[in-house]
Structure 1
Amino acid sequence: MYKVLQVLTDDEVAECRRIAASAQFVHGRVSNPHNQAKNNEQLHEPATYKQTAQLLHAALMRSEDFVNFAFPVSMAPPLITRYQPSMHYGAHTDTAYLKLPGGTLRSDLSCTIFLNDPETYEGGALRIALGDAELSFKLPPGVAVVYPSDTLHGVEPVAAGERLVAITFIQSRVPDPFKRNLLYNLNEVAALEGLQMQPQNFTRLQLVQNQLLRYWGEKP
């Protein structure tokens, strides 16, 4: 139901950090004034936001693991956010629909891309509730975690240092997480074992893959 994957090169991480070091940030509540759980900062300068969003979007879309897991139809421009000491994000679910310049996006999946070393700040772990389990993520720079947007999740208070991440939201071609996970696992088996199967059986497997995607998928 979630996926951890490497998406940024070292140079791309360094570029995001360089931009963030001199960019203007504003309180994160500027994009959602009524969200009392939100206590962080977000990149504000339009030109800088566009530059980093393009870099991060391209990195995600070139990741075969990301595309295979998320079945993305559209994605919100990734946004760099910052947490200073005492900042946090209380438990919340992400809004179901986001109004973007190009139209409205349904948030099926959320994504956090970590941009600085976990050793440089205390606290600040991303916590996600999945059923009875609560998972905690504090990952190396350039690594992302993708998870369902309708889960309760939040960010622990930062005790010291600075937490720098990028976030985005994805509309999936397969909105149902159970169906999406089944398709992902089926596709992984086909990719890993397909060449060892009898050709006629591999062809049948591909038929099932495409039939399920046609049946469960929403947009081309």
Structure 2
Amino acid sequence: MLLILPQLLSDSELAQARAVLATAPWADGRVSAGPQAAQVKNNEQLPAGCDAARAVGALVLGALDRSPQFLAAALPRKVFPPRINRYSGGANYYGRHVDSAIRFTEGGVRVRTDISCTVFLSDPDDYDGGELTVYEAGTTRQIKLPAGHAVLYSGTHVHEVTPVTRGERLAAFFWIESMVRSDAQRRLLHEFDLALTDLRGRDGESDTTVALTGTYHNLLRMWAET
């Protein structure tokens, strides 16, 4: 499942993030990549423990907490602390790779990378290239979103960021371990939730919506790991 979260960050939050990043201590992005990914990774990244990374990460986590769409689609169990990267100049691409199945936080907590997320911090007009390209079975999706928008996609997919040939591309990225491990099951639950919300908004509460709500939660109870 690939899902856009429009305007995850507000204009004021974007302004805060950009002010912080204007004087941030950028480092070689390969430090956080696995052996295979490090061979194709050529970007910059904030050290995970620096003040700038923590400040921008806190803005992103706060936005996720107030997003019903994120909660319904991801069904999060754990969220890896957001990291911040930059593509510009000679450090301007990240070739085809698959994210590691398990990531370890600074505190040693294991997070299974069921879902990947990118939050765009630069406007599309500020740079050329830099498309997040996700390769699904028989399909290629290129994503370049307005600043503040985010995209969720399965952590199992091969993906890349194409070279930035002008300007600067800033983004936050992180992973989610879902309560529901299967992408297919998460998709069904999300579609069920959307349809139920639409039905309830159109017809109000009824015996049917109560019964369907029970079915949704019984499926979630069957599939969820807590």
TM-score (ref. length: structure 2): 0.93
The one-letter amino acid paired with 2:71 is: V
The one-letter amino acid paired with 1:15 is: Q
> Which residue of the partner structure matches residue 20 of structure 2?
19
CA shift at 1:102, angstroms?
Answer: 5.2
Aligned residue runs from structure 1 range 97-112, under 5 A? 97-100=102-105, 101=107, 103-112=109-118
CA shift at 1:31, angstroms?
Answer: 1.7
Structure 1 residues 140, 213: closer, same or farther in 2, change over 3 A?
same
CA shift at 1:41, angstroms?
Answer: 0.4
> Which residue of the partner structure matches residue 92 of structure 1?
97
Aligned residue runs from structure 1 range 1-220, under 5 A? 1-6=1-6, 7-32=8-33, 34=35, 35-44=38-47, 46-86=50-90, 87-100=92-105, 101=107, 103-194=109-200, 196=203, 199-219=206-226
- Whether the aligned pair in 2 keeps the contact of 1:85 and 1:157 (CA below 8 Å) is no
Divergent runs of 4+, >4 A: none
Aligned pairs, number: 219
- Whether the aligned pair in 2 keeps the contact of 1:114 and 1:143 (CA below 8 Å) is yes
Counterparts of 2:74 and 2:34 in 1: how far apart (Å)?
Answer: 29
- Whether the aligned pair in 1 keeps the contact of 2:29 and 2:43 (CA below 8 Å) is yes
- Whether the aligned pair in 1 keeps the contact of 2:199 and 2:209 (CA below 8 Å) is no
Structure 1 residues 120, 198: closer, same or farther in 2, change over 3 A?
closer
78-87 vs 128-137, greater mean Cα deviation: 78-87
Counterparts of 2:138 and 2:24 in 1: how far apart (Å)?
Answer: 40
CA shift at 1:113, angstroms?
Answer: 0.5
Structure 2, unaligned stretches of length 5 or more?
none
CA RMSD in angstroms, aligned pairs only? 1.4
- Whether the aligned pair in 1 keeps the contact of 2:114 and 2:175 (CA below 8 Å) is yes
Structure 1, unaligned stretches of length 5 or more?
none
TM-score (ref. length: structure 1): 0.95
